[in-house]
Amino acid sequence: MTRNTLFRLGDWGIYALFIVIVLGLPLMMDDVFWLNRIAKYLVYGMLGIAIALSWGYAGILNLGQGLFFGLGAYMVAMSLKLQSYTSMQQGSDRPVPDFMLWNAEPGAPTELCCIVKGSWLWLPFQAQWFGMVMAIAVPVIVALILSSAIFRLRVSGVYVAIITLALVLLVRLLIIDAQPVTNGFNGLTDLGWLTVAGIEFDPYMVSTYYIVAVSTCAVLLLTRWLVSTRAGLILQSTRDDPNRARYLGYDVAAYQVFFFTVSAGIAGFAGMLYVIAAEFASPSFLDITFSISMVVWAAVGGRSSLIGAAIGAILINTIEATASETEMFQEAWKLIIGVIFVLVVLYMPRGLAGLAQDLAGRIADARVGGKQRARTGAPAE
């Protein structure tokens, strides 16, 4: 058995193990509150995957991934808000969000079309499928437009990070400012449950966990397939040397736009699932802190490993939740994560995945007796 075959087996082994654990968790854990929490962290894991895809494989650091997460979240939250109990209490036979009523001018009609300025935008969201479609479509369209502008103009490196960061802040302010239709700082709360074919998905039900868990595994496998294709290889080549790729005949911007948009679509999808599990959407999804946190998770897990980034996100958040049981420890944990993060960047730039690879490399070397010591290509998983 060659070293490379060993590596590939180990790699698939980790994927299989991850999927088995994620899907089998409800059998081992009957605490629904924890299950709901884990579902949220799986969503974060999905965000880690999205970051690894754009940062690790495409070399594009998106510091505004929260924009796509937030857009996805708001789209589906609008639909679920209209299905909530509080939206039906308005004395109208059709739902109107409670906060609109509080914001409405005295004497304004209690109809969704015209209760406050711009509230007609909510009309199509009365259909739940519309919100769910928009949760993917809106982030994808925004990402398509944004990335086309960025990459056609050949903006690169840190400037991409700054543009994405400025944009997420801009949209955050717009959401806050459009208080009558978005409920501003408070975000959308008191949401209804996802209802598919007459079945209501209570966030604290095992079936809701499974929606998130299956989605996470699917996204993981899908992205893994994407980066294994020729397109994925070409993408990595554009990261290493965009000019070389151009002189080989590839339209570099097209590859960057495609993968940036896929990454944004995943983030939007994650936003949608988060709302289903957490029952709120808030402008804090578009805070810089959140967007940078995603990058932190991916960096700790391994910036150029999809599964590493996912595990990094899940692990950090699970530990944080455990630590947050006492307030004192919560503050101390923040201190610890800050220190860990500095150390990871300084001494472990390939993150946990890099550590695992080195370890696996040593075992493989011992197995094949030091033959075939050639380095394998990065980023192997």
Partner 1 sequence: MTETLFIGLSLSSILLLIALGLSITYGAMGVINMAHGELVMIGAYTAVLSGIYLNLNFFLALPLAFAVSALVGMALERLVIRRLYGRIIDTLLATWGVAIVLQQLIRLEFGLSFFGIHVEGLGPGLQSMDVPSFLTQPFEIGGVPIQPYRSFIIVVTLLLTLLTWFLMYRTSMGTQVRAIMRNPQIAAACGIDVRRVSAFTFAYGSGLAGVAGVLLAGFKTVMPDMGASTVVDGFLVVVVGGVGSLLGTVLASGLLGQINGVFAILFNDILARAVVFGVVIAIILWRPRGLFSFRSR
Partner 2 sequence: MVAALTIDALEVDFGGFKAVDGLTTVIDEGELRVVLGPNGAGKTTLMDLISGKTGSTGGEVRLFGRDITNRPEHQIARAGVGRKFQIPSVFRDLTVHDNLRVAVSQVPGVFRNLRLGMAAADRARIEEVIALTGLEPVLDTVAGDLSHGQMQWLELGMLITQQARVILLDEPTAGMTQAETLKTADIILSLKGSHTLLVVEHDMAFVRKIAERVTVMHMGKLLAEGPMAKIEADPAVREAYLGTGGLH
Where on the chain is the footprint of partner 1 (CB under 8 A)?
Answer: 61, 149-150, 153, 155-159, 161-163, 165-167, 169-170, 173-174, 176-177, 288-289, 292, 295-296, 299, 328, 331-332, 334-335, 337-342, 345-346, 349
Residue 123 contact partner, candidates partner 2, partner 1, none, CB within 5 to 8 A by sort of partner: none
Q: From the CB of 239, what's the least distance to partner 2, in Å? A: 8
C-alpha closest to that of 59 among 379, 307, 288? 379
Q: From the CB of 148, what's the least distance to partner 2, in Å? A: 13
Q: From the CB of 175, what's the least distance to partner 1, in Å? A: 10
Q: Which is nearer to partner 2, 81 or 239 (CB)?
A: 239
Q: Which is nearer to partner 1, 114 or 153 (CB)?
A: 153
Give the C-alpha separation, 68 to 72, whole Å.
6
Q: Which is nearer to partner 1, 62 or 216 (CB)?
A: 62
Sequence-ordered strand ranges (E) for 118-249 = 194-196, 199-201
Any bridge partners for residue 155, and if so which?
none
- 239 makes contact with partner 2 (CB under 8 A): yes
Residue 304 has what DSSP assignment?
Answer: T
Residue 115 CB: number of other CB atoms within 10 A?
A: 23
Give the C-alpha separation, 168 to 162, whole Å.
10
Residue 379: cis peptide before it, omega within 30 degrees of 0: yes
- 231 makes contact with partner 2 (CB under 8 A): yes
- 254 makes contact with partner 2 (CB under 8 A): yes
Please check whether residue 271 is in contact with residue 215, taking contact to mean a CB–CB distance below 8 angstroms.
no
Please check whether residue 320 is in contact with residue 296, taking contact to mean a CB–CB distance below 8 angstroms.
no
Please check whether residue 302 is in contact with residue 354, taking contact to mean a CB–CB distance below 8 angstroms.
yes
Q: Which is nearer to partner 1, 81 or 172 (CB)?
A: 172
Residue 161 contact partner, candidates partner 2, partner 1, none, CB within 5 to 8 A by sort of partner: partner 1
Distances (CA, A) of 328 to 229, 322, 336: 48, 12, 13
- 226 makes contact with partner 2 (CB under 8 A): yes
339-378 residues in contact with partner 2 (CB under 8 A) are 372, 374-378
Helix (H) or strand (E) holding 200, with range, is strand 199-201
Give the C-alpha separation, 249 to 153, whole Å.
18
- 247 makes contact with partner 2 (CB under 8 A): yes
Residue 239 contact partner, candidates partner 2, partner 1, none, CB within 5 to 8 A by sort of partner: partner 2
Number of residues that bind partner 2 (CB under 8 A): 34
Q: From the CB of 76, what's the least distance to partner 1, in Å? A: 24
Tracing tokens 């994650």 back to the chain, one arrives at 270
Q: Give the binding site for partner 2 (CB under 8 A).
A: 4, 225-226, 228-231, 233-234, 236-237, 239-241, 243-252, 254-255, 258, 372, 374-379
